[in-house]
Amino acid sequence: GDSVTQMEGPVTLSEEAFLTINCTYTATGYPSLFWYVQYPGEGLQLLLKATKADDKGSNKGFEATYRKETTSFHLEKGSVQVSDSAVYFCALFYSNRDDKIIFGKGTRLHILP
């Protein structure tokens, strides 16, 4: 079946460091891929998405590229801020199928000032 695997956290970085959170997926079809962010005490917010192979999603300085050949969707940011501290979830979704989002387990990110 379909699944998402992401690197375990917590990930601790200093402010202005480069961030990579790895995400790989197993899919029976051609899903859309997402990164969601969850700030403390809040629900999920869509951070970025890509709907087909080689698409790059970007938002707020974060980027991820849909790599079909490596079944990956790694999240990157060139210079993180303390305000980026949150839990990040990689997810897949079939918009023309059953509408349920399949999430990874999440990666907690701590940014030190």
Partner 1 sequence: DAGVTQSPTHLIKTRGQQVTLRCSPKSGHDTVSWYQQALGQGPQFIFQYYEEEERQRGNFPDRFSGHQFPNYSSELNVNALLLGDSALYLCASSSRAGTGTKNEQFFGPGTRLTVL
Residue ranges binding partner 1 (CB under 8 A): 4, 36, 41-46, 89, 91, 93, 95, 98-106
Q: Which is nearer to partner 1, 17 or 51 (CB)?
A: 51
Rounded to the nearest whole angstrom, what is the least distance from the CB of residue 92 to partner 1 in the complex? 11
Residue 98 three-state SS? coil
CB closer to partner 1 out of 91 and 109: 91
- Determine whether 64 is exposed, middle or buried from the number of CB atoms within 10 Å of its CB (0-12, 13-18, 19+): buried
Beta carbon of residue 45, minimum distance to partner 1 (angstroms, whole number): 7
- From the CB of residue 91, how many other CB atoms can be counted at a distance below 10 Å? 22
Looking at the Cβ atoms of 17 and 94, the one nearer to partner 1 is 94
Residue 59's Cβ-count burial label (10 Å; 0-12, 13-18, 19+) is middle
